[in-house]
Amino acid sequence: DSGVTQTPKHLITATGQRVTLRCSPRSGDLSVYWYQQSLDQGLQFLIHYYNGEERAKGNILERFSAQQFPDLHSELNLSSLELGDSALYFCASSRRSGTYEQYFGPGTRLTVT
Amino acid sequence: DQQVKQNSPSLSVQEGRISILNCDYTNSMFDYFLWYKKYPAEGPTFLISISSIKDKNEDGRFTVFLNKSAKHLSLHIVPSQPGDSAVYFCAASANNNNDMRFGAGTRLTVKP
């Protein structure tokens, strides 16, 4: 158990809909990262927050947004969903920002039908 | 733009032998490298890392080698055990960045 929790574990929704994925980092970790893993693909970095502030953006679509709240949990919002958005979405946390190992949650499997 | 590449999607080795997983990168700004292991239905777990100031880091059965001139790193597992069967991701980060780039992963199967 990494100490990072993600909810929900599974999510099935229709095209055009909007969903919110939630992540709680390990106790004491200030950084939260979001990744997308499509079928047989590597982990694609989406976005990084540190202590409530956005620090880096990767290949995140404009239809996607995220935020980190004062209690340090984070939410990833996916809107106008398309079939291609079906993937595993992982959240990871680390103590600080920068080059430190990240601890991953179990992921949320999103299926768009 | 795939800055971190794992060109072997799969590798199969016999229990007790050495497993060598390879990773290449293109961004010369990367200065910290990590290996993660992932079992099905779980998130990746950190395995071992290496800073660019070193060329080798060892932790038990796991050793990571870094060749900066070739922009290549490898993970050696000796001896390999069936429990090592998983997908292994290579990752790289630059100290002045706040993101980490992952390779596509290599599925290791260790046969008893």
Q: Which residues of B touch A (CB under 8 A)?
A: 4, 6, 31-32, 34, 36, 41-46, 49, 89, 91, 93-95, 97-105
| Count of other CB atoms within 10 angstroms of residue B9 | 11
Contact B98 A50 (CB under 8 A): yes
Q: Give the separation between CA B45 and CA B36, rounded to whole angstroms.
A: 5
pLDDT of residue A51: 93
pLDDT of residue B5: 94
pLDDT of residue A58: 87
| Mean pLDDT of chain A, nearest integer | 92
* pLDDT tens track, chain A, 113 positions: 889 999 999 999 999 999 999 999 999 999 999 999 987 678 899 999 999 999 888 889 999 999 999 999 999 999 999 999 999 999 999 887 665 788 999 999 999 99
| Count of other CB atoms within 10 angstroms of residue B33 | 25
> Radius of gyration over alpha carbons of chain B, in Å?
13
Q: Which of B46, B98, B101 sits opposite A48 (nearest CB)?
A: B98
Binned average pLDDT, 10 residues per bin, chain B of 112 residues: 88 98 94 92 92 95 97 97 96 77 94 94
